Structure 1
Amino acid sequence: MGSREALRSAARLATYSAGLQVLFRVLTFVLNAYTLRYLSKEMIGVVNVRLTLCNRYSSLPPGSLSVNQGEPAWICERLTLLYSTVVFLAREAFRKACLNVGAEQKWAQIINLLWLTVPVGVLWALLLCWVWLWFVTAPDPALIPHYEVGVMAFGLSAVVELLSEPLWVLAQVHMLVRLKVMAESLAMVAKCVLTVVCVTLVPHWGLYIFSLTQLVYTSFLLACYAIYFVKFIGSQEAQRTSFPLSRVTDLLPKLLNHQPVVHPRLATLTWTFFKQSFLKQILTEGERYVMTFLNVLNFGDQGVYDIVNNLGSLVARFLFLPIEESFYIFFAKVVERGKGAGHQKQEDVSMAATVLELLLKLVLLIGLTITVFGYSYSQLALDIYGGSMLSLGTGPTLLRCYCVYVLLLAVNGVSECFTFATMSKEEVDRYNFMMLALSSSFLALSYFFTWSQGAVGFILANCLNMGLRIVHSLQYISRYFSLSECRPLSGLKLPGPLLLVYLGSGIVTTFSEAVLCCELGLMFRLLHVMIGAVCLIIVLITIYFTEPKLVQFIRTQFLSRDKKET
């Protein structure tokens, strides 16, 4: 596959993934609204659809969570944390190591290596389920019965999902773009239908319902991948695209004659990434571990923080994550890991640098727009979403700080996407030492800032951590392209007129909020929104005229419909 075809496939995958996230969001909102009619609010707080991986960042409908109901909502987050930790630690390292292989690789060894995700997942699931049952305070059985069943069910569902990991990697490497969208969509629909049926007919089952539907979701996901490859392998389409497997049995692990069972270089690289993934999980979910095990916030504050975190992370889930996942595959295919830009095919290096420059500019503009307008519309958004319980407390301050964090999150996602796709094993090892220091300091800062600043302290610690990671990634990118004429970091430079428009928009909307929002009635709120809309249109028009290269990139790679499916 050429670099241009890899670019088209990566852009298509990012577009489909973003659309899939929107679909999930709509489905979870409708499902929440329906289940509220049949289950108590306390039970909803525990079995809310956020318990599944794809819906992790959904939140309860407005008014369904009060400060006194913070405990059930946070139990939901504890189970979510269990599930995501098992899945992330078991598969992240294998994905990063194996996503840059090509058809010429010895796929039998790679598939054997990928199947190791299952025993690794079983070990993590057993360990973490034991921790969650014995070291984390359990809810009152009279309020939330069958909590132990929920813990075991979500641990088991993580293992079931890992059974599809070799198939997922095969699909991603060979750019079978629609398979992921199809499998996750069908699995989500099946889960939603079963949930509606169960809460309608047997609502007294409580947590049993959502334990069952979670297992159904992951089982359906596995079935979709398995059925697809059973039909695909040996087909004319597989032969046309030079798919490396010729028999369905090639998908299973097996002993090899006169060869190592697993790919030696990738196995070593996987172990290196495994150490990094463990530290990265601490940096990604550190505040949740601190809240879960140290109880630095009361349950009411935890509930408010959870809602703000869910709202603030919507763009990260919808846009930044699909871009990061899809273009990691692109960079891994176009440039060779461990070699500098001066020692590779310059045409591919130039394309990688151009794409990196445009992606950095794209996410920078999205993040900056969220930061500028989020500051002035946080209170209004929370008031509409959750009423005075959210808008009159610490909620607006939390969301404003989170908008700044989203900007840092955007830049870090793309910069680390390139960094991890091109680092050599030795460079990853050195980075792991830095990650160890970051993880330790982040946990300490989270604990200290939370005691002094409350829930805002978690966001401040995250911002500091993300800033340090960005500095490292940008230094690496600068060194990587030092021997070439490419300067992708110029994507972080914005033209003066655009910066002035952002500054003016921030001043105007901040003044509008102070004068019109949020206690003067509906008409004043609508006027505040209209002012923001006018400012946003001016920003978009300025971007259109000052960033023609970026506009063309978005139009041809993300919006064009005449791309041939791989």
Structure 2
Amino acid sequence: MARNILKSSIENASFSIVFQVLFRCITFILNAYIIRTVGQEVLGIMNVRLLLLESTILFLSKEPILKACLTNTSTINWAQVINQIWLSVPLSSVINITLVYVWINILTPTDDKYQHQYELGCYAVALSCIVEQVSQVVVLVAQNFCFVRLKVVIDTLYVVSRTIIFVYYVETEPEYPINAFSIAQIVSSVILCLSYYGFFLWYIPALNKVKEIKKKEKNAEKNIFSDMSDFPFTSFIQLFPGIMENKEAMLDSKLFVLTMSFIKQSVVKQVLTEGERYVMTVSPVLTFSQQSVYDIVNNLGSLAARFIFRPIEESAYFYFTQMIKRDEILTKQNKKQVAESAEVLSQLCKIVVTIGLVVVTFGQAYSYSFLYLYGGQKLVENNLSVVLLRFHSFAIVLLAINGVTEGYVFATMNNQQLDRYNYLMVIFSVMFLLISYILTYIIGPVGFILANCINMTARIVHSLNYIHKQFQDTEFTPLDGLIPGKKFLITLILSGIVTILSEIYLLEKSIFIHIGAGAVFFFIIVSIWALDNMTLLRLGLEKYKSRKSSFVKQD
């Protein structure tokens, strides 16, 4: 391929991190606005009950097909892939009917004053998911051919439009906040869908014209179309099923089998990802108001995971799918690609472990300060919120390791291995639900976090074992990246002790002096880590300079 897969993966991760920061900032501001405007109960209904319905539908209908179809574009039969991914639309419709019935008729009802709005919200979420599924074919094409900026722009437009529409309708009719949520959900999904299709409606004819010019002029000027010689679509209607010329079967049997494996995996992963929400939704463990408070603290505690680790995991998964073949042992694959993949995996492990340990260190001494600055005295008057955030900081280290290692595992497993792991994930899911319910019943919401930690630890152990076995016959040891340096660890421990003492003795005098002490030790930690990883920093600087110079040449 003409495109640089590693460069595109890094660029995708960088833009995704920026987008996640924007999205979460908007979400946190919006949550504060909802609490002050319409109350905690409405926030619990929307953020826990309705958004859980959305994530359940999309995980079951979107995730498996999209993951299976992400493959090397030089070997792909695009006619079969287009047919396959359009199957997500009827699949989503069937899932919608089932889940909406459960959400409205079986789950614990809301208060009477919100029940009609809640039902409308369920239907709105289902409709928006179908609209989003219609756009998956163009999303797949954009991702496979590295349209990174397009994804960021459209996703940003989607989030901003949904927020503006919601706030406008809440301000207009504050007594119907869930209706505002429903309208915003549908309109923003339509905007996302039309934006993607609109781009390719313009792009494909424009690319055809550039190709014609290149045939006539050998030294044609470089532009955004220059690296698209392998782009397979010559007509916009080829993005729809049954249109593109295909000399083989309508569907690829191997791709279908892989999709079925990912469906099983997605069901289990959804339970593990959203398990505490399912427990809250199915059983009356917490009220809607308590659920909203837990959701706020959970989101605050997952800042690092959502801003940094998830984009890295998604980009790493895409990178490893392009570099490592699923059905061939590493010793028989391209040694240069295997070496690069091992180095990338090692450095990713080193980076996420570093970030996770820093979060643990400062999470103990600064949870109270962070919550106080974010939500005021009301959010910290119940010490539970502070305890939850402190426990979250430990979970973040496990999230960091699990995201990268499991991303590599899913990107390189063959169908048989995926099926075996799916059975193991079923066991993890059952354990998670049982442990989550038991611990929550005994110790309250903290039980959700502890249950997550136990399950992530089990998944990490499996992933590490898989990676070790895969690389054991090679000269590469990518898991060494999980071991932090001694100087860095000692500095972390000392910083943790001093900042806890600062919270005890300085916080009452001035929160800003306490934060200042933390800033000093944070700078010391970063400096020590930088000295221990000068090679990595030099490499990153060289990549940045080369990328910058390439942009200058293009201009």
The alignment's TM-score, normalised by the length of structure 1, stands at 0.89
What are the Cα deviations for residues 194-245 of structure 1, in whole angstroms up to 9, with x where unaligned? 3344334444553222211111111111111101111112412557512011
- Match of residue 57 from structure 1: none
- Match of residue 68 from structure 2: 97
- Match of residue 321 from structure 1: 310
Contact 2:48-2:291 within 8 A present in 1 as well: no
Q: Work out the CA distance in 2 between the residues paired with 1:124 and 1:537.
A: 50
Q: Is the counterpart of residue 549 in structure 1 residue 532 in structure 2?
A: no
Change (3 A) 1:26 1:445: closer
Q: 1:549 deviation in Å?
A: 2.9
- Match of residue 254 from structure 1: 242
Contact 2:38-2:174 within 8 A present in 1 as well: no
Q: Given the alignment, which residue of 243, 258, 263 partners 2:231?
A: 243
Q: Which moved more, 1:299-308 or 1:245-254?
A: 299-308
Q: Work out the CA distance in 1 between the residues paired with 2:171 and 2:549.
A: 44
Aligned residues: 532
Q: Given the alignment, which residue of 465, 476, 482 partners 1:486?
A: 476
Change (3 A) 1:34 1:408: closer
Change (3 A) 1:29 1:503: closer
**Counterpart amino acid of 1:40?**
V
Q: Given the alignment, which residue of 385, 390, 406 partners 2:396?
A: 406
Question: Aligned-residue CA RMSD in angstroms?
Answer: 2.2
**Counterpart amino acid of 1:222?**
C
SS in 1 for 2:113: coil
Q: Work out the CA distance in 1 between the residues paired with 2:92 and 2:58.
A: 7
Q: 1:74 deviation in Å?
A: 4.5
Q: Is the counterpart of residue 528 in structure 1 residue 518 in structure 2?
A: no
- Match of residue 382 from structure 1: 371
**Counterpart amino acid of 1:245?**
F
What are the Cα deviations for residues 491-541 of structure 1, in whole angstroms up to 9, with x where unaligned? 011221111101111111111112223xx24x2x22211111111000000
SS in 2 for 1:337: coil
Change (3 A) 1:425 1:349: same
Change (3 A) 1:557 1:307: farther
Q: Which moved more, 1:427-436 or 1:136-145?
A: 136-145
Q: Work out the CA distance in 2 between the residues paired with 1:200 and 1:304.
A: 23
Q: 1:303 deviation in Å?
A: 3.2
- Match of residue 17 from structure 1: 16
SS in 1 for 2:112: coil
Q: Work out the CA distance in 1 between the residues paired with 2:440 and 2:30.
A: 34
TM alignment of 1:180-191, pairs within 5 A: 180-191=151-162
Contact 2:363-2:393 within 8 A present in 1 as well: yes
SS in 2 for 1:146: helix
Q: 1:339 deviation in Å?
A: 1.8
- Match of residue 58 from structure 1: none
- Match of residue 64 from structure 1: none
Q: Work out the CA distance in 2 between the residues paired with 1:552 and 1:239.
A: 30
Q: Is the counterpart of residue 87 in structure 1 residue 58 in structure 2?
A: yes
TM alignment of 1:247-286, pairs within 5 A: 247-254=235-242, 259-286=248-275
- Percent identity over paired residues: 39
Q: Is the counterpart of residue 153 in structure 1 residue 153 in structure 2?
A: no
**Counterpart amino acid of 2:57?**
V
Contact 1:405-1:459 within 8 A present in 2 as well: yes
Contact 1:358-1:553 within 8 A present in 2 as well: no
Contact 1:12-1:558 within 8 A present in 2 as well: no
Q: What stretches of structure 2 of length at least 5 have no aligned partner?
A: 211-223
**Counterpart amino acid of 2:23?**
F
Q: Is the counterpart of residue 119 in structure 1 residue 90 in structure 2?
A: yes
The alignment's TM-score, normalised by the length of structure 2, stands at 0.91
TM alignment of 1:158-237, pairs within 5 A: 158-234=129-205, 235=207, 236=210
- Match of residue 397 from structure 1: 387
Change (3 A) 1:526 1:203: closer
- Match of residue 444 from structure 2: 454
What are the Cα deviations for residues 19-47 of structure 1, in whole angstroms up to 9, with x where unaligned? 1122223444555666778x5336xx53x
- Match of residue 49 from structure 1: none
Q: 1:424 deviation in Å?
A: 0.7
Change (3 A) 1:34 1:272: closer
Contact 2:12-2:315 within 8 A present in 1 as well: yes
Q: Work out the CA distance in 2 between the residues paired with 1:29 and 1:558.
A: 32
Contact 1:328-1:418 within 8 A present in 2 as well: yes
Q: Which moved more, 1:381-390 or 1:283-292?
A: 381-390
Q: Is the counterpart of residue 420 in structure 1 residue 410 in structure 2?
A: yes
Q: Which moved more, 1:22-31 or 1:122-131?
A: 22-31
Contact 1:11-1:558 within 8 A present in 2 as well: no
Q: What stretches of structure 1 of length at least 5 have no aligned partner?
A: 47-71
- Match of residue 303 from structure 1: 292
- Match of residue 41 from structure 1: 39
**Counterpart amino acid of 1:396?**
V
**Counterpart amino acid of 2:242?**
K
Q: 1:138 deviation in Å?
A: 1.9
- Match of residue 213 from structure 2: none
- Match of residue 100 from structure 2: 129
Q: Is the counterpart of residue 351 in structure 1 residue 340 in structure 2?
A: yes
